[in-house]
Amino acid sequence: MDIVYGADVNAWTITFREVELRTSTDVALWQRALDGLLESNLHRQRAYLLLDMGDFVLNRKLADEYQKAAKTIKNKYAFGMVPYGRRDLGQLPDRRTALAALEALRQL
């Protein structure tokens, strides 16, 4: 996982590379790693997050566990979170669309 702050969009982008959540243990390890990544970069500050999930695999049987873990991360670190790159998971198709959604989210 990589994290980069974009001053032009005033948000952090997390790029998931070769992430495969196939077991409950994978979900727990992913959540712990993501928590550590955000803690070390955001320093307990909340921010807007863009999640590039184009290279992300999720076992459909773990959808509830994944959603619970993602919600925990969102509640701890994010004003808002916009995932993109996996249409089959109901996400936005690309970064351009995600940026438009982020702007709309900020208007709420």
Give the model confidence (pLDDT) of 70-95 as tens digits: 999 999 999 999 999 998 888 999 99
Domain of residue 80 covers 2-107
The number of domains in the chain is: 1
CATH number at residue 71: 3.30.750
pTM: 0.93
For residues 3 and 13, is the Cβ–Cβ distance under 8 A?
Answer: yes
The pLDDT of residue 85: 96
State the chain's mean pLDDT as an integer. 96
